[in-house]
Amino acid sequence: MTDATVSQTTLPLPLVRRGKVREVYAVDEHALLLVASDRVSAFDVVLPNSVPGKGAVLTQMSAFWFRELSSVVPNHFLSADVEEILERVPSLAEYRSEIAGRTMLCRRTAPLPVECVVRGYLSGSAWAEYAQSGTLAGAPLPAGLVESEQLDPPIFSPATKAEVGHDENITFQRMCEIVGAETGARLRDASLALYAEGRDRAGERAIIIADTKFEFGRTEDGTLLLIDELLTPDSSRFWPADRYEPGRGQPSFDKQPLRDYLAGLKRDGRWDGNTPVPLPADVVEAMSRRYQDVFRRITGSAFPESA
Ligand SMILES: Nc1ncnc2c1ncn2[C@@H]1O[C@H](COP(=O)(O)OP(=O)(O)O)[C@@H](O)[C@H]1O
Ligand SMILES: [Mg+2]
């Protein structure tokens, strides 16, 4: 892996969307390119530094899972191999080094306007709501749960896709009003099956997937596909299993050095929680190592040298 980071791409293709971390380009009416930058965000703030290897880790880890879990539910993945991508889109030849490793060719869909979250452990916004009212998206959960406690069976906990601000947790019933009852049931069943399979495989490698988010879309002929990224540190909470202890927040596998640094600044009154602050080199390096480490642990293979 080179140390060159890419904080943003500008490719000679129609830009469909510039997200917090990825750029989406149209190849044609049937295919898209998802390009993961090395940008990093924490507490919903996108920081000025880029993390070497992060974009490639997100893309190659998604590619790994799309292949592994393709029998559970059909997905949008076509290729994450730069040679294959250049063959399909020759106009990108001169952007080779910029896109290598971090780019995924996928089938274009109309995304459904819901986030399909599965929670296997009580954390994040779900823990915050439960601690206050004993509920999740307004529906009661068993009494007496503690922070980070395992939820058995895992809970399907959809959310709206907010254009601005935070996503809002909604009930299954509300989701069915948005996408229709039949689609709602399919999304729920597919999400729970994907989570169970992913959790078991990550568990064999001493990583807990505490929760994760899936997105689905429809192709022109109406086929439902799993889209976006899959079981990455950006779409999931990964915890090191050997340090798991219910009753408190868990260290995060990838962003902990960043969170610790920002929390320290905040404690000292040197950060307002909103301004993108520059990060010291050792924090950036620690994160870069964490992303590559989690990639190796999950996939069992070394980080691709060409990425
Ligand atoms: N196969 C697909 N078809 C259409 N849109 C997709 C597909 N896969 C992913 N997307 C969309 O691409 C975007 C990825 O960029 P991202 O940086 O995650 O943006 P966001 O800030 O919206 O999360 C998301 O809006 C996602 O819904
Ligand atoms: Mg996203």
Residue 301 lies in a domain: no
Examine the domain organization and report whether 221 and 130 are in the same domain: yes
Residue 263 lies in a domain: no
Residue nearest atom 4 in ligand 1 by C-alpha distance: 109
What pLDDT is attached to residue 220?
A: 94
* CB 27 near ligand 1, within 6 Å: no
Report residue 165's pLDDT band, with 50, 70 and 90 as the boundaries.
Answer: low
Q: Can you give the three-state secondary structure of 178-220, one letter per residue?
A: HHCHHHHHHHHHHHHHHHHHHHHHHHCCCEEEEEEEEEEEECC
pLDDT of 2 > 60? The answer is no
* Domain of 9, in residue numbers: 1-108
Residue 255 lies in a domain: no
Q: How many domains does the chain have?
A: 2
Residue 253 lies in a domain: no
- The residue-averaged pLDDT of 163-176 equals 86
* CB 35 near ligand 1, within 6 Å: no
- The residue-averaged pLDDT of 91-98 equals 96
Examine the domain organization and report whether 36 and 97 are in the same domain: yes
4 vs 261, residue with greater confidence? 261
Residue 151 has which token pair? 């939820």
CATH of the domain at 145: 3.30.470.20
Model confidence pLDDT, tens digit, residues 46-94: 888 999 999 999 999 999 999 999 999 999 999 999 999 999 999 999 9
User: At which of 243, 275, 296 does a domain end?
Assistant: 243
What pLDDT is attached to residue 302?
A: 84
Examine the domain organization and report whether 102 and 127 are in the same domain: no
Examine the domain organization and report whether 188 and 231 are in the same domain: yes
Examine the domain organization and report whether 132 and 193 are in the same domain: yes
Examine the domain organization and report whether 101 and 120 are in the same domain: no
User: Is 200 within 8 Å of 194 (Cβ atoms)?
Assistant: no
Residue nearest atom 6 in ligand 1 by C-alpha distance: 228
Residue 275 lies in a domain: no
pLDDT of 281 > 80? The answer is yes
Examine the domain organization and report whether 122 and 216 are in the same domain: yes
Residue 282 lies in a domain: no
Q: What rounded mean pLDDT belongs to the chain? A: 93
Model confidence pLDDT, tens digit, residues 122-131: 999 899 999 9
pLDDT of 137 > 90? The answer is no
User: For residue 19, how far is its CA from the centre of ligand 2 (angstroms)?
Assistant: 7
| Nearest ligand 1 atom, CA 107 | 1
Identify how many contiguous H helices and E strands the chain contains and give both numbers: 8, 16
Examine the domain organization and report whether 81 and 152 are in the same domain: no
pLDDT of 1 > 70? The answer is no
Residue type, 235: S
Model confidence pLDDT, tens digit, residues 260-275: 899 899 999 999 988 8
User: Is 287 within 8 Å of 51 (Cβ atoms)?
Assistant: yes
User: For residue 140, how far is its CA from the centre of ligand 1 (angstroms)?
Assistant: 32
Residue 57 lies in a domain: yes
User: At which of 74, 108, 142 does a domain end?
Assistant: 108
Question: Model's pTM, two decimal places?
Answer: 0.94
- The residue-averaged pLDDT of 34-46 equals 88
CATH of the domain at 43: 3.30.200.20
Least confident of 49-63, 168-182, 215-229, 293-307: 293-307
User: At which of 202, 227, 243 does a domain end?
Assistant: 243
Residue among 22, 28, 59, 117 whose CB has most ligand 1 atoms within 8 A, to mutate: 22
Instruction: Please enumerate in sequence order all residues whose Cβ is within 8 A of that of 118, keeping only pairs 6 or more positions apart, or say none.
Output: 154, 155, 156, 157, 191, 192, 194, 195, 211, 212, 214
User: For residue 230, how far is its CA from the centre of ligand 1 (angstroms)?
Assistant: 12
Examine the domain organization and report whether 146 and 168 are in the same domain: yes
Question: Over pLDDT 90: what percentage of the chain?
Answer: 81
Could you tell me what percentage of the chain is helix, strand and coil, using 3-state DSSP and rounding each to the nearest 5?
35, 25, 40
Residue among 115, 228, 232 whose CB has most ligand 1 atoms within 8 A, to mutate: 228
Examine the domain organization and report whether 2 and 84 are in the same domain: yes
pLDDT of 259 > 90? The answer is no
Examine the domain organization and report whether 86 and 102 are in the same domain: yes
Residue 278 lies in a domain: no
pLDDT of 298 > 80? The answer is yes
Examine the domain organization and report whether 21 and 130 are in the same domain: no
